[in-house]
Amino acid sequence: MKKNKLFLVLFIFLFAYHAWTQELIEPDRVYLSSIGAIKFFAQGNQFEYPIIQLGTTDVLALDFDDLGKDLKNFYYTFELCNADWTSTYINPSEFLGGFIQQRIEDYHYSNIATTNYIHYQVALPTSTCYPKYPGNYLLKVFTDGDPTQLAFTRRLLVVDNKVDIATSVVQPFAQKWVNQGQQINMTINLEKLNAGLASQLVNVVILKNYDWRSARAHLQPNFVIGNTMQYNNNDACIFPGGNEYRWVDLRSFKFKGDRVSRIQLNTRPYQLWVVKDKLLSTQPYLQYNDLNGFFEISNTDYYNPWWESDYALTHFTFAPKDADLIAGQNVFMVGELTKGMPLEQTKLQYIDSNHTYQINLFLKQGYYSYKYSIQPLADTTQELSDAITEGNFWETENDYLILVYYRPFGGRYDELAGFATINSRNSRKGFQSGTY
């Protein structure tokens, strides 16, 4: 009888699990409106993308807040995906070790903060729930053990290093991009895959600043020599240089941080106003250290940033001097601070009376980086662009992530067989095998 009940529970979970995968649209998405300040990173470094190497003790940290009134039972599981983030529809009992789902048991009620929330945190993977296959995974967080009751999803990468990647960032020869772009040159050695025609079975993907909207996939090499693929002066590997990210320091609500113009503490919630942002494309390039779109939960007012930090309604204003440059465009806030939000919620509202664009975000104390991108009002299918709002400069500091996926003959999903990262400012030649 107990076995029958256990089988029934497992069947119900698997049915709900696969029903959910068919409905998933965006890999990074917040479904529960009370969720805030999600951070998913390599443990010990909030600016490190969630990547683990198969068979190692790599640990990721997940932190988030629930601003709802009641304590919730949050669970998590993993979904194995292909290189394009479509579901593999492989049974989770096959690619997961231990249990299929795990409860998040570590939580803290907010302390000192005027905004009430419950902070949840977990280190993963654990010995009771972990990915067994290399590839793309979705971390799915849901309530009450029901995977159809999603709170949010986040991407992570599990790598089994079987390829060597040598890469460098150079100034493009193409006239269009010579002063505005950055070209990625690569040499990829597939010898460890030990497969004939391996070059025809791989999919090379490049991301700029870990933003999947920037991804270039199915990149074709200039030359294939034996087991080596060479990408040199390849136009498909040229990225707009962009500009350094804008920033605001919200680590203190007692004192005005960098680029905070005003703080109002006699309201609930608190309110802060950020110094007005201008067009950067019309200004010369200015070098400074930025966070490449990331944000950090940190606090200079109290001891623990995770459950002693407060929230504030933060007002951003984009005030381009020459409004005609972006006439007929929607303006969006881009960065980790808006990650997972529906695009419409990241759109700035145009204020006709003063010709500015404004957006208000409910943000936790920390240090934030962001940029503005535009999209034509007449064609919302076009990709977001920041060429006019931010500018493109060859000198800009960017991080690039190179991913090599491999699907052998008869394979059911895309294995992540190698990766490398390179910084455009600190670019050095040489082999990098899974270094980050």
pLDDT band at 17 (very low <50, low <70, confident <90, very high): very low
Is the predicted pLDDT of residue 14 greater than 60, yes or no?
no
Is the predicted pLDDT of residue 1 greater than 70, yes or no?
no
Question: How many Cα atoms occupy the beta-carbon half-sphere of 12 within 13 Å?
Answer: 8
Q: Mean pLDDT across the chain, nearest whole number?
A: 91
Strands (E), 253-305: 260-264, 270-274, 295-297
**Contact of 376 with 382, CB cutoff 8 Å:** yes
The predicted pLDDT at position 111 comes to: 92
Is the predicted pLDDT of residue 100 greater than 80, yes or no?
yes
Segment 205-230 mean pLDDT = 95
Token code pair at residue 136: 């793309």
Any idea where the domains of the chain sit in the sequence? 2-159, 164-241+395-432, 246-376
The yes-or-no answer to whether 2-159 and 164-241+395-432 have a common fold is yes
Read off the DSSP letter of residue 190.
-
Segment 175-186 mean pLDDT = 95
Structure pTM? Answer: 0.91
Segment 244-273 mean pLDDT = 97
- Torsion, CA 249, CA 253, CA 259, CA 262, rounded to 10: 160
368: left (phi over 0), alpha (psi -120 to 50) or beta: beta
Architecture of domain 164-241+395-432: Sandwich (2.60)
Residue 306 to residue 299: CA distance in whole angstroms = 9
What is the residue type of 349? Q
pLDDT band at 21 (very low <50, low <70, confident <90, very high): very low
Is 2-159 CATH 2.60.40?
A: yes
